[in-house]
Amino acid sequence: MLVTTYFFAFLFTLIFELVTAFCLGFREKVFFAALVFINGITHPLLWLIIFFIIQPFSPKGVDSYIIFLETSIIIIEYTLLKGMFGKHYRPQKLFLLAFTMNVVSYGGGRVLQYIGIL
Q: What is the pLDDT of residues 10-24, one digit of tens each?
A: 999 999 999 999 999
Please count the structural domains in the chain: 1
* pLDDT the model gives residue 70: 95
Contacts of 36 (CB under 8 A, 6+ apart): 14, 18
Q: Choose among 86, 68, 66: nearest CA to 78.
A: 86
Confidence of residue 80 (pLDDT cuts 50, 70, 90): very high
Output the average pLDDT for the chain: 94
61 against 104, higher pLDDT: 104
Domain that holds residue 100: 2-114
pTM for the structure as a whole? 0.91
